[in-house]
Amino acid sequence: MPLKLYLVTEVMTPDPVVIESEALLTEAEQLMKEHKVRRLPVVEKSLLVGIISKGDLREARMAELASRHPYDPATGESWLTVAEAMTSPVITVTPQTTLVEAVRLMLEHKIGGLPVLKGSRLVGILTDTDVICLLLRETQESE
């Protein structure tokens, strides 16, 4: 049985947790743990400027370890900001984008999430987890 043609707005997570670009990576890690998410849209003055994922954090940590920051050689404390590790520009979709097109973008770009913009306003995020949950619901309903 074919899946209904869904729009992103029907599947996305509305009002995602965001982080400011000047926040420290430790703050991003804490927010991800606290909210049990793997990526955060990055904003400056309420405008989307990037996205940071757990993978971005790992890469930044490895680079940081390879060349210790000159201001913290003894403590190992991180001074990197989200802006230094985020992915930008960001691939986005609108609430009216079809789920098929959104998944195609995720596969093509090998990414696990797409911020959802209505005009210039961030209204949600569509993640691979959202898509998997939809597939599970659809499968259970058809049994």
Categorize the per-residue pLDDT at 126 as very low, low, confident or very high, splitting at 50, 70 and 90.
Answer: very high
Q: Would you state the pLDDT for residue 68?
A: 59
Say how many domains are in the chain.
1
Q: Would you state the pLDDT for residue 80?
A: 84
The residue with tokens 């309420």 is: 46
Q: Would you state the pLDDT for residue 72?
A: 53
Q: Would you state the pLDDT for residue 75?
A: 47
Q: Would you state the pLDDT for residue 85?
A: 93
Nearest Cα neighbor of 25 from 73, 89, 83, 75 is: 83
Angstrom distance (rounded) from CA 21 to CA 49:
8
Query: Does the residue 3 lie in any domain?
Result: no
Q: What is the domain range of residue 135?
A: 8-142
pLDDT digits (tens, 9 = 90+) for 73-119: 444 556 789 999 999 999 999 999 999 999 999 999 999 999 999 99
Query: Does the residue 16 lie in any domain?
Result: yes
Query: Does the residue 61 lie in any domain?
Result: yes
* Cα distances (angstroms) measured from residue 50 to each of 36, 42, 70, 83, 96: 19, 5, 26, 8, 21
Query: Does the residue 112 lie in any domain?
Result: yes
Residue with the bigger pLDDT between 66 and 8: it is 8
3-state secondary structure the chain: CCCCCCEHHHHCEECCCCEECCCEHHHHHHHHHHHCCCEEEEEECCEEEEEEEHHHHHHHHHHHHHCCCCCCCCCCCCCCEHHHHCECCCCCECCCCEHHHHHHHHHHHCCCEEEEEECCEEEEEEEHHHHHHHHHHHHHHHC
Spatial contact of 53 and 38, defined as CB atoms under 8 Å apart: yes
CATH of residue 138's domain is: 3.10.580.10
Query: Does the residue 20 lie in any domain?
Result: yes
pLDDT digits (tens, 9 = 90+) for 30-79: 999 999 999 999 999 889 999 999 999 998 887 766 665 555 544 455 67
Query: Does the residue 1 lie in any domain?
Result: no
Residue with the bigger pLDDT between 46 and 122: it is 122
Query: Does pLDDT of 1 surpass 60?
Result: no
Q: Would you state the pLDDT for residue 107?
A: 97
